């Protein structure tokens, strides 16, 4: 198989076709492995292909690395490592396999791979607490078979890998990361590149996993996952997927036709949140934006954002006209959970308009759970999600996929679970994973921008699940573009505004 066909991930990732990019869990990979083994009649064949793919990808990346350490575990992930080490040896590299004493290869394919490496003259060292010098390290300790947090001995080996200083190339999964959930329960390898075998894994694109994967690259090993179409458990969205929803404007567009968004929030001392929400809605294409807020925030808001239409509201009666005129309501930014906020929240829930609940609107909902009108959108961060589920943040983060599904089921609406690798889900739909965003976006006010962007897309006639998906992708893509030029540190929510507009017009952005 040609090199480019085998390591399609890197180039395809750059192009990021707008065809759906399915993500799978271990069950699908096991089924694919069984199928491929049955088809080839040799359980070792897939490991052989994996080892060869790893060696070719290695040459693509680190061909200048003469000496390499291959850390092999007891299972088939380790087997992949032995096959790759054999290729390196045969290509004149200085290679050493390192393993734990208790990690002798288990199972016929891994033993065959280890024997092949030994027969090629390969040396195997038992880990004694320190790793020898090398120009690069291959992590073949654990793959999708990880079933619990690495124990102390394996943990010491993982810490030695992370502390070695050489670049790390992880086979299939960075060891210690849960490939289905993205959770990291103990020591885990921090890789520069992770070569995923057969299919992209759901868990490697969300949560703590994103701190460990480095650059993900796919090696399909020639296995056709379409035969396992029942299995995709999620879809990975990247910047070019914006084109799926953001078509060039219709010529006869009239501001009224691009939707009218009502942003509600900005209690005393929190007026800025509403400005960010309203500005993001305008920059994401809403035709008209009303901003219902405290009277003393009207003048500053007008000064900052003359395109918005601020309305002083002190009671739910003051809100009536704006609720009637709105196509979509975004409530929560700076709303507070005092009487004022609670009154406006109740009035918004009583309207028959599509709702987006964010920030304090979510906290008010968590404090008094109730049924929500049809096709709402919730945009919790992990802490708000935990409150809404009666759980805690650590448990939400330990299985983000389960959390977003539980929230959508409980409130019967679309949910955006924010955080590294934002997840979007709605009842009866799959899970969409946002393949954009960066740590610089973990600052106050970014959520206000997200809620404005999603509300604007909802007002432009996307349904709740698509508006939530496209809005989250637009927001994270804008954050990446804003960070690309000037860095992540010091990134402000208002830095996203010009990028929301550029990214919301993909053709303009591609120029």
Annotated binding site for (6S)-NADPHX: 76-80, 143-149, 172, 273, 334, 381, 448
Smallest gap, in angstroms, from Cβ of residue 188 to ligand LP7C6HRI? 11
Axis crossing angle, helix 271-283 with helix 446-459, rounded to the nearest 10:
40
Q: Which residues are annotated as a binding site for K(+)?
A: 77, 139, 175
Rounded Cα distance between 443 and 462, Å, is: 28
How far from chain centre, in Å, is Cα 404? Answer: 13
Q: What does 310 bind: K ion, ligand LP7C6HRI, none (CB cut-off 5 to 8 Å by kind)? A: none
**Residues in CB range of 99: below 8 A, 6 or more apart:** 71, 72, 73, 74, 78, 124, 125, 126, 127
Smallest gap, in angstroms, from Cβ of residue 53 to ligand LP7C6HRI? 9
What would the two tokens of residue 86 be? 């054999």
Q: Does 175 bind K ion (CB under 5 A)?
A: yes
Closer to ligand LP7C6HRI at the Cβ: 144 or 210? 144
Q: What does 139 bind: ligand LP7C6HRI, K ion, none (CB cut-off 5 to 8 Å by kind)? A: K ion
What would the two tokens of residue 281 be? 């809605």
CA 67, 73, 79: angle at the middle one, nearest 5? 80
Smallest gap, in angstroms, from Cβ of residue 346 to K ion? 52
Find the length of the chain. 511
Smallest gap, in angstroms, from Cβ of residue 154 to ligand LP7C6HRI? 5
Q: What does 175 bind: K ion, ligand LP7C6HRI, none (CB cut-off 5 to 8 Å by kind)? A: K ion
CA 95, 96, 100: angle at the middle one, nearest 5? 155
Q: Which residues are annotated as a binding site?
A: 76-80, 139, 143-149, 172, 175, 273, 334, 381, 418-422, 447-448
Q: Is 389 left (phi over 0), alpha (psi -120 to 50) or beta?
A: alpha
Smallest gap, in angstroms, from Cβ of residue 78 to ligand LP7C6HRI? 6
- Asked if 448 and 358 count as a contact pair (C-beta separation under 8 A), the reply is yes
**Residues in CB range of 419: below 8 A, 6 or more apart:** 206, 207, 381, 382, 397, 400
Smallest gap, in angstroms, from Cβ of residue 89 to ligand LP7C6HRI? 19
Cα distances (Å, whole numbers) of residue 306 to 138, 268, 290, 310? 56, 21, 11, 9
Q: Which stretch binds K ion (CB under 5 A): 136-144, 344-352, 394-402, 483-491?
A: 136-144
Q: Which stretch binds K ion (CB under 5 A): 105-113, 163-171, 210-218, 233-241?
A: 163-171
Rounded Cα distance between 182 and 395, Å, is: 12
Residue 132 DSSP code = P
Which residue's entry shows tokens 């009866």? 428
Which of 6, 25, 57, 139 binds K ion (CB under 5 A)? It is 139
Q: What does 459 bind: K ion, ligand LP7C6HRI, none (CB cut-off 5 to 8 Å by kind)? A: none
Rounded Cα distance between 421 and 424, Å, is: 10
Rounded Cα distance between 344 and 317, Å, is: 9
- Asked if 241 and 439 count as a contact pair (C-beta separation under 8 A), the reply is no
Q: What does 75 bind: K ion, ligand LP7C6HRI, none (CB cut-off 5 to 8 Å by kind)? A: ligand LP7C6HRI
Q: Is 261 left (phi over 0), alpha (psi -120 to 50) or beta?
A: beta
Smallest gap, in angstroms, from Cβ of residue 285 to ligand LP7C6HRI? 43
Smallest gap, in angstroms, from Cβ of residue 191 to ligand LP7C6HRI? 13
Binding site for ligand LP7C6HRI (CB under 6 A): 29-30, 32-33, 46-47, 50, 73-80, 142-151, 154, 171-173, 197-198
Closer to ligand LP7C6HRI at the Cβ: 197 or 411? 197
Closer to ligand LP7C6HRI at the Cβ: 145 or 240? 145
Rounded Cα distance between 324 and 315, Å, is: 15
Closer to K ion at the Cβ: 161 or 328? 161
Q: What does 50 bind: K ion, ligand LP7C6HRI, none (CB cut-off 5 to 8 Å by kind)? A: ligand LP7C6HRI
Q: What does 9 bind: K ion, ligand LP7C6HRI, none (CB cut-off 5 to 8 Å by kind)? A: none
Smallest gap, in angstroms, from Cβ of residue 249 to ligand LP7C6HRI? 45
Q: How big is the site for K ion, counted in residues (CB under 5 A)?
A: 4
Which residue's entry shows tokens 């290679």? 95
Adjacent-strand bridge partners of 312: 293
Closer to ligand LP7C6HRI at the Cβ: 224 or 409? 224
Q: Which residues bind K ion (CB under 5 A)?
A: 139, 170-171, 175
């Amino acid at each position: 198989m040609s090199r480019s066909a085998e390591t399609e991930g890197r180039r395809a990732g750059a192009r990021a076709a707008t065809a759906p990019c399915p993500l799978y869990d271990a069950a699908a990979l096991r089924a694919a492995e069984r199928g491929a083994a049955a088809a080839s009649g040799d359980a070792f064949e897939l490991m052989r292909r994996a080892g060869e793919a790893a060696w070719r990808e290695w040459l693509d990346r680190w061909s200048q690395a003469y000496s390499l350490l291959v850390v092999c575990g007891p299972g088939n992930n380790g087997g992949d490592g032995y096959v790759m080490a054999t290729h390196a040896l045969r290509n004149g590299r200085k290679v050493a396999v390192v393993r734990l004493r208790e990690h002798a290869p288990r199972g016929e394919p891994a033993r065959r791979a280890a024997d092949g490496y030994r027969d090629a003259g390969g040396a195997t060292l038992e880990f004694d607490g320190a790793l020898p010098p090398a120009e690069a390290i291959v992590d073949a300790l654990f793959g999708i078979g990880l079933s619990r947090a690495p124990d102390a001995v394996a943990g010491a080996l993982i810490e030695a890998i992370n502390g070695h200083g050489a670049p790390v190339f992880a086979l299939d999964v960075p060891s210690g990361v849960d490939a289905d959930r993205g959770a990291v329960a103990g020591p885990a390898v921090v890789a520069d590149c992770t070569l995923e075998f057969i299919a992209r894994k759901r868990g490697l694109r969300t949560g703590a996993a994103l701190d460990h994967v480095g650059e993900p690259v796919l090696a399909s090993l020639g296995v056709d996952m379409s035969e396992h179409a029942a299995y995709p458990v999620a879809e990975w969205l990247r910047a070019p997927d914006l084109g799926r929803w953001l078509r060039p404007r219709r010529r006869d567009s009239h501001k009224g036709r691009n939707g009218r968004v009502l942003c509600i929030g900005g209690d005393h001392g929190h007026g800025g949140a509403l400005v960010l929400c309203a500005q993001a809605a305008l920059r994401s294409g809403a035709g008209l934006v009303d901003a219902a807020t405290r009277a003393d925030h009207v003048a500053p808001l007008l000064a900052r954002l003359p395109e918005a239409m601020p309305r002083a509201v002190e009671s739910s009666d003051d809100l009536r006209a704006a609720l009637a005129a709105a196509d979509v309501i975004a409530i929560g930014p700076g709303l507070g959970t005092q009487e004022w906020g609670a009154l406006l929240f109740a009035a918004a829930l009583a309207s028959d308009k599509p709702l987006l609940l964010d920030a304090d609107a979510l906290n008010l909902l968590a404090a008094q759970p109730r049924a929500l009108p049809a096709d709402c959108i919730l945009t919790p961060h992990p802490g708000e999600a935990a409150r809404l589920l009666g759980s805690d943040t650590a448990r939400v983060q330990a299985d983000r996929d389960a959390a977003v599904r539980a929230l959508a089921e409980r409130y019967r609406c679309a949910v955006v679970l924010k955080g590294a690798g934002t997840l979007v889900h709605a009842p009866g739909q799959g899970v969409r994973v946002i393949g954009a965003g960066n740590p610089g976006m973990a600052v106050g006010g970014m959520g206000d921008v997200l809620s404005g962007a999603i509300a604007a897309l909802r007002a432009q006639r996307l349904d709740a699940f698509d508006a939530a998906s496209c809005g989250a992708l637009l927001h994270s893509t804008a954050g990446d573009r804003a960070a690309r030029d000037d860095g992540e540190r010091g990134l402000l929510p208002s830095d996203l505004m010009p990028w929301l507009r550029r990214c919301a017009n993909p053709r303009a952005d591609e120029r």
